[in-house]
């Protein structure tokens, strides 16, 4: 027969064993959320970080636009900017605003003078024309926007879509590269012809 002391030690060992097994079982739970959060490494390796960026886009002294971004990360000795919440204002030769571009993200290369917009890119002219694409490139030296991805174009009386395009930022001369679909909407009452004199 066991002594009372031996019985007490046996109970303690049993309790300790059950506690260790429960702890080990809890460690094997794969559904336990991790505490670390996923962060962008952009800021860690950037030469400089700027909030509220405003950058003039000029060609041969002519103001072509103004690049704005919520956040800009500078790389490659300040020659490349990674941008968040991008807005660009385009101007004509006389400095009058004639179109805007917005995108979730972008990259501006100072050397090539190209702005690469990504994520819900929308270009809107002052007279109501609108082009939407997931990606487009603004080439400042050519004063041209272009893309090789799907896009839609809408304007008063005209809608079309396609794969790839080239255009001026004001959307007055849009060239579809492939897969053009769409047409012209006639005004109510149809077209009228002027009588010949």
pTM summary value = 0.69
Residue 122 has pLDDT above 60, yes or no: yes
Residue 24 DSSP SS3 = helix
Residue 145 has pLDDT above 60, yes or no: yes
Tens digits of per-residue pLDDT, 150-193? 999 999 888 899 999 999 999 999 999 988 888 765 455 444 44
Q: Which among 193, 194, 147, 195 is positioned nearest to 174, based on CA atoms?
A: 147
Residue 94 DSSP SS3 = coil
| Cβ–Cβ under 8 Å, residues 140 and 61 | no
Work out the average pLDDT over 100-115.
95
- Domains of the chain, first to last: 43-184 (2.60.450.10)
């Amino acid at each position: 027969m066991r002594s009372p002391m031996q019985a007490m030690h046996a109970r303690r060992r049993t309790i300790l064993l059950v506690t260790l097994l429960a702890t080990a079982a809890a460690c094997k739970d794969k559904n336990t959320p991790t505490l670390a959060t996923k962060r962008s490494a952009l800021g860690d390796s950037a030469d400089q970080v700027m909030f509220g960026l405003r950058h003039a886009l000029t060609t041969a002294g002519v103001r072509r636009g103004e690049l704005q971004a919520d956040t800009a990360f500078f790389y490659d000795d300040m020659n490349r900017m990674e941008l968040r919440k991008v807005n660009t204002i385009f101007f004509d030769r006389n400095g009058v605003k004639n179109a805007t571009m917005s995108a979730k993200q972008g990259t501006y290369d100072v050397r090539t003078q190209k702005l690469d917009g990504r994520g819900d890119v929308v270009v809107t002219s002052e007279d109501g024309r609108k082009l939407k694409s997931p990606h487009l490139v603004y080439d400042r030296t050519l004063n041209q926007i272009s893309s090789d991805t799907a896009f839609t174009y809408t304007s008063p009386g005209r809608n079309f879509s396609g794969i790839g395009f080239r255009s001026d930022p004001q959307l007055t001369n849009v060239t579809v590269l492939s897969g053009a679909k769409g047409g012209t909407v006639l005004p109510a009452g149809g077209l009228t012809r002027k009588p010949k004199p």
